[in-house]
Amino acid sequence: MSFLYPLFLLGAAAIAGPILFHLIRRVTREKRSFSTLMFLKASPPKLTRKSRIEHWFLLLLRCLVFLLLALAFSRPYLSNEQTIQLESDERVRHCLLIDKSASMRRDGLWEESLSKAEKWLTQWKQEAYASVYLFDESIHQVVSFDDWSGLNPDIRTSEILNRIKAQPPSWKATSIDDALLESLNRMEEGAREEEKESKQQAWELVVISDLQVGSRYEGLRGQDWPKHAYVVFDGTEPRNSSNAGLQALQSDWQIAEDESFIAPRVRVSNAQDSDQEQFELQWKTEDSSFETNESLPTYVTPGQTKIMTAPKWPEDKSVNQLVLTGDSETFDNTIWLAPFKPRTSRIVLLAPKGQKQDSELEYYIERAFQSVPEHRVELIQSQTEAWKPLAALKGIDLWIVTRPLNDSVAEGLREHVKKGGIILMPLTSVTMQNTLQVIWEDPALVIEEAAVTDYSLIGKIDFQHPLFAPFADPRFSNFSKIHFWKHRRILNLDLSQEELQIAAYLDNDEPAIITRSQGLGRIILISSSWTPKDSQLALSTKFVPWLYTALNWGRNYQELRTQYSIGEAVDLSSIPTEDKLAIRNPNGEVEKKSADKLYRNTNLPGIYEIEADNDFRWTFAVNLHPDESRTSVLPLETLESLGVPTRDPENAAEETPESREQRAEDSRLLQSQEIEQNQKYWRWMLLAVLALVLVESLVASRASPKQFA
Amino acid sequence: MAEPSIETTSMEGLTQHRFIDPRTLMSIKHLELRAKVVVEGFWNGLHRSPYHGFSVEFTEYRQYTPGDDPRYLDWKLYARSDRYYIKKFEDETNLRCFLLMDRSKSMEFGSKGFTKQDYANTLAATLGYFLSRQGDAVGLMSFDEVIQEYMPARNRPGHLRQLMQTLEKPCQGESTDIKKPIKRIMDLIKSRGLIVLISDFLTPLDELEDNLATLTAYGHEVQVFHILDPAERHFTFEEAIQFEDQETGQLMYVDPATAKKDYMEQMENHLEKLKNACDKSGIGYTLLTTDQPLEKGLFDFLKARIHRGRVVQRKTHAG
């Protein structure tokens, strides 16, 4: 039996109390009325002889109560052999995590990190278990636990330092959460190989980092930390706390109608503890050969951000850097910008000839798909009756069929759809029946005019359907005001087909919009049309957004962008080539990649170029992650509030034999506390005390009601 | 005086179980009823002709001296002895009995669930009822340090009830002073009578003897009932505690373990002294503890009276 707080045992001396009180004849304030005192003499209170102790059982109970209370407060526990053995065999596993994110490029931070790393490594010279990792967005192993034990302790520190020096700070963002959790996982994996003593080990994670606010730490939320693990944050102090950053806003450009003015919109941020406020924006070339005298002054107070339009992009397209001047920390002051490329969409409209304006389908399509500087829409109207010229058209995003097609065109279109095209087909009249039969590959289909008294409304919409998913929000989901004057019924339609979906029904339970996957492509069938004679669809505010939803539905890939962050994957699958691509990074290195893959090596800021054999060229810029510019120091309390068990580096560092002993003592205490926490004998003792008090009360009240009541 | 003949009846003759336990008796609230219960029970116990005897009782002969009323000459004796003798009879007038009740605070003590006062009241009521049933006049005087109530001795309808009501009044006195009421009663009662003094006598006895002697000297017949609680008599306490004097309020820490011996000694002395004083003056003395049946009081009372009637009266009136 051991005690966590043996001093409390002194409280057991309190049992002297009841013994003494039992010995002293009670001088109470109680009175007994008596007829006369004339025959009585006052007796002095006195100790009775030992043999005169009355109520032995009560005395025993009372002494036991005090004894148990003292025992309970001293928190007893039974230390078994295992724990004793482990106490002598106590081990600490160390893990050193060094931040090498872009923010560590700041003046002097990396050098400081190295010296701190050296200090820790020297301190752990005699330790058997340690590992070293570098981290930015992900964790990079320098020395694993196995490597550590494999290295000669005499040269270990210098060897590890050399390995660290070989991996200078990257341009990536900081993920403290990933780093901590991953290193914790690796520690756990390492520990599992050991015997079950892992529970008694101490895991020390030392993080050398600038601990910037922009670090990602949300992943630590809800993490269940092992009791024996703790984190020591050994923060590096930047020589200069000022920092301003410049970031490009994703595809947000200011463009004049005639493209006489093109400029990106950018965000300038200034750190909380910055002492600079005045900055300037200026365009530069890569080799700084071009430098306009034009610069845009701006004023950002510390802790604030400002979104502004950059100066006009110079005519010279080789100018691809926008630089923020006036900031002492330059690592995040440059953004690279690829030349602006508007998005393009090609739509083919197969409409009948010579329609009257204002009443027909094409009129509304032309107005719905208007080109804007950011999005160029090419609307190709074709009255051709042959498939060949149509087949020559490349990169068509949407086919709109509003007239009956002859079989060759219909068949060509059908096969094209199977390869990934999208057809939007309003059933303008029953004459579309033949075309539908061919495209749908079902000769049994019959279209007939539905009998409608007055009008129909849309009755039910499947908002899970991709065509309506953007409208699922109750603010946009009201389609009930659109009247359908006329519509057509499709007979013999096999609704049980798996690839067939009914996106919307009319209120008479007939399908309004039917979609069907056909090969890689899709067909969208509307049982009416958007002309005013058929319905009010074109007049609805939903019409244009819905058309764009249909246009985008076909694109099941992410489009290439001109802006990426460091480390972000570039989806190459939208590139219209089946050959290998060549990607040139800012250093001029070329990497071959197949088109359906993701390109992940966006490790450097700068301009990347993609080239395909079919003259396809795409330029994109990769810039620092915006969070890396937020360099104010993250308060440790934030991490502690997420449950990270932190420890002061001062206490953990510089371990002398005395402090080692102290630590061993502490850990013994910790261990004892843990054992005691598990056993919790004090609870039972308190329960026993309560029971004893109860018995004591009962016995006392029975023994002599007058004396003890 | 009409007096039951009980000479042939002894205390032993009355089996113990026929008496009523005082505790049970005290649970009867009505004092008169209590008295009735005791007296009727007592009558039943004295089933040997309680109404036997004469109302005018012959006591002695005396030689005729000139001036004596010749009506009382015993002619039959003259015929036998040729001498004139006067036949002497007991006073025919009814007995005038005064109950002197101690109503001091000390009488409020009781360890048996009722107080000495209750017991004394019942005793007084019993005597009163008993006497008035025989046609005697009963008066009452209650006292503590002063005289509180005085009711002259009468025997008329309603008097007994009034007496009972007076007895039932709660006692208000503080300490006991027996001298004053004795002095006062000598002023009040001119004719001879029976004086029954009921008290716990928890007071210094210094002048009591003289006062009692004075009473008997006046020709009064005196009977003392000394009422004590068993706890007072034998000091049955065990726990050391503060004792509070009921009369003075004085507090004293007493450990019975050590104080009992002393107490008992002093108590015995006190009793001895009181008994001696009574004996000297020819006063009947009965010590009653409240756990004793009341019938015993009544029995002792009657027994003592008969005995004393023979001894004392002959002593004083012989001649």
Nearest residue to B92 (alpha-carbon basis) of B63, B64, B72? B72
pLDDT band, very low/low/confident/very high, at A256 (cuts 50, 70, 90): confident
Q: How many CA atoms lie within 13 A of A702 on its CB side?
A: 8
Which of A88-102, A475-489, B151-165 shows the highest mean pLDDT?
Answer: A475-489
Q: Measure CB to CB from residue B243 to each of A27, A37, A707 and give the nearest one.
A: A37
Compare B290 and B48 and report the one with higher pLDDT.
Answer: B290
At residue A350, φ and ψ (nearest 5 deg) are -95, 90
Q: How many CA atoms lie within 13 A of B217 on its CB side?
A: 10
Give the residue carrying structure tokens 């081990």.
Answer: A91
Provide the 3-class DSSP secondary structure of residue B223. strand
Q: Residue A347 corresponds to which amino acid?
A: I
Do B99 and B115 meet the contact criterion of CB atoms below 8 Å apart?
Answer: no
Q: Alpha carbon B3 to chain centroid distance?
A: 16
Query: Which residues are within 8 A (CB) of B190 and not within 5 positions of it... i.e. 6 or more apart?
Result: none
d(CA A356, CA A368): 18
Chain A CB contacts of B267 below 8 Å: 39
Question: Tokens at residue B184, please?
Answer: 């006062």
pLDDT band, very low/low/confident/very high, at A87 (cuts 50, 70, 90): very low
Q: Residue A98 corresponds to which amino acid?
A: I
> Within a 10 A sphere around the Cβ of A299, how many other Cβ atoms?
11
ipTM of the complex: 0.73
What are the structural domains, with CATH classification, of chain A? Answer: 2-30+44-74+679-708 (no CATH), 91-240+631-655 (3.40.50.410), 244-336 (2.60.40), 343-553 (3.40.50.880)
Asked if the model's pLDDT at residue A220 lies above 70, the reply is yes
Q: What residues of B are in the A interface, CB distance below 8 Å?
A: 105-109, 116, 200, 202, 204, 229, 232, 237, 239-248, 250-255, 258-259, 262-263, 266-267, 270
| DSSP codes joined into one string, A82-141 | HHHHHHHT--EEEEEEEE-SGGGGSTTHHHHHHHHHHHHHHHTTT-S-EEEEEESSSEEE
At residue B175, φ and ψ (nearest 5 deg) are -105, 180
> Looking only at Cα atoms, what is the longest distance across chain B?
78
User: Hey, are the CB atoms on A32 and B251 less than 8 Å from each other?
Assistant: no
pLDDT band, very low/low/confident/very high, at B16 (cuts 50, 70, 90): very low
Q: What is the CA radius of gyration of chain B?
A: 22
Chain B CB contacts of A34 below 8 Å: 109, 232, 243-246
Compare A400 and A678 and report the one with higher pLDDT.
Answer: A400
What are the structural domains, with CATH classification, of chain B? Answer: 21-51+93-317 (3.40.50.410), 58-89 (no CATH)
Asked if the model's pLDDT at residue B313 lies above 90, the reply is no
Do B61 and B87 meet the contact criterion of CB atoms below 8 Å apart?
Answer: yes
Condensed to tens digits (0 to 9), the pLDDT of residues A12-70 reads 888 888 888 777 755 556 788 888 888 888 777 655 444 466 678 888 888 899 999 99
Query: Which residues are within 8 A (CB) of B307 and not within 5 positions of it... i.e. 6 or more apart?
Result: none
Compare A142 and B309 and report the one with higher pLDDT.
Answer: A142
**Section B310-318 average pLDDT:** 39
**Section A209-229 average pLDDT:** 86
Nearest residue to B227 (alpha-carbon basis) of B111, B103, B107, B138? B107
Give the bridge partners for B253, in sequence order: B242
> Within a 10 A sphere around the Cβ of A414, how many other Cβ atoms?
20
- Return the residue in A21, A36, A47, A706 with the most chain B beta carbons within 10 A, the one to mutate for interface testing: A36
Q: How far A707 CA lies from chain B's nearest CA (Å)?
A: 8
User: Hey, are the CB atoms on B253 and A30 less than 8 Å from each other?
Assistant: no
Query: End-to-end alpha-carbon separation of chain A, Å?
Result: 38
- Return the residue in B243, B246, B260, B273 with the most chain A beta carbons within 10 A, the one to mutate for interface testing: B243
Q: Measure CB to CB from residue A37 to each of B204, B252, B270 and give the nearest one.
A: B252
By CB atoms closer than 10 A (0-12, 13-18, 19+), residue A496 is exposed
Nearest CA in chain A to B266: A39
- How far from B169 is each of A342, A548, B12, B137, CA to CA, in Å? 120, 113, 36, 21
- How far from B213 is each of A485, B182, B186, B219, CA to CA, in Å? 142, 11, 12, 10
- How far from A89 is each of A4, A131, A668, A674, CA to CA, in Å? 21, 20, 11, 17
Condensed to tens digits (0 to 9), the pLDDT of residues B116-139 reads 888 998 889 888 888 887 778 889
**Section A227-235 average pLDDT:** 85
User: Hey, are the CB atoms on B244 and A32 less than 8 Å from each other?
Assistant: yes
Q: Measure CB to CB from residue B241 to each of A28, A37, A38 and give the nearest one.
A: A28
- The answer to which of A176-180, A680-684, B18-22, B115-119 has the lowest mean pLDDT is B18-22
Helices vs. strands in chain B: H and E counts, helices first: 10, 10
Give the residue carrying structure tokens 């494999």.
Answer: A150
SS in 3 state form for A337-388?
A: CCCCCCEEEEEEEECCCCCCCCCCHHHHHHHHCCCECCEEEEEEECCCCCHH
Q: Measure CB to CB from residue B109 to each of A25, A34, A46 and give the nearest one.
A: A34
Q: Alpha carbon A438 to chain centroid distance?
A: 49
Query: Which residues are within 8 A (CB) of B44 and not within 5 positions of it... i.e. 6 or more apart?
Result: none
Percentage above 70 pLDDT, chain A: 88
Q: What's the pLDDT score for residue A659?
A: 62
Condensed to tens digits (0 to 9), the pLDDT of residues B185-216 reads 788 777 778 888 898 888 888 777 888 888 88
Condensed to tens digits (0 to 9), the pLDDT of residues A308-323 reads 888 888 777 677 888 8
Q: What's the pLDDT score for residue A526?
A: 93
DSSP state of B21: P
DSSP state of A472: -
User: Hey, are the CB atoms on B246 and A36 less than 8 Å from each other?
Assistant: yes
User: Hey, are the CB atoms on A34 and B245 less than 8 Å from each other?
Assistant: yes
Question: Tokens at residue A38, please?
Answer: 């004339």
pLDDT band, very low/low/confident/very high, at A689 (cuts 50, 70, 90): very high
User: Hey, are the CB atoms on B240 and A707 less than 8 Å from each other?
Assistant: no
Asked if the model's pLDDT at residue B103 lies above 60, the reply is yes
- How far from A217 is each of A98, A176, A222, A639, A641, CA to CA, in Å? 16, 6, 11, 8, 11
- The answer to which of A347-361, A378-392, A569-583, A682-696 has the lowest mean pLDDT is A347-361
Q: Measure CB to CB from residue B254 to each of A29, A43, A704 and give the nearest one.
A: A43
Chain A CB contacts of B106 below 8 Å: 35-36
> Within a 10 A sphere around the Cβ of B211, how many other Cβ atoms?
18
User: Hey, are the CB atoms on B243 and A28 less than 8 Å from each other?
Assistant: no
Q: What's the pLDDT score for residue A692?
A: 92
How high is the mean pLDDT of chain A? 82
pLDDT band, very low/low/confident/very high, at B280 (cuts 50, 70, 90): confident
What angle separates helix A433-440 from helix A407-418, to the nearest 10 degrees?
A: 40
Q: Measure CB to CB from residue B253 to each of A34, A36, A43 and give the nearest one.
A: A43
What angle separates helix B116-133 from helix B294-317, to the nearest 10 degrees?
A: 60
Q: Which sign does the torsion angle of CA B13, B19, B21, B25 carry? A: negative
Question: What is the side-by-side strand order in the sheet with B137-143?
Answer: B147-154, B137-143, B96-102, B194-199, B221-228, B284-289
**Section A226-251 average pLDDT:** 83
Q: Measure CB to CB from residue A27 to each of B253, B267, B270 and give the nearest one.
A: B253
Asked if the model's pLDDT at residue B318 lies above 60, the reply is no
Percentage above 90 pLDDT, chain B: 4
How high is the mean pLDDT of chain B? 77
Asked if the model's pLDDT at residue B10 lies above 50, the reply is no
Q: Which helix (H) or strand (E) holds A459?
A: strand A456-461
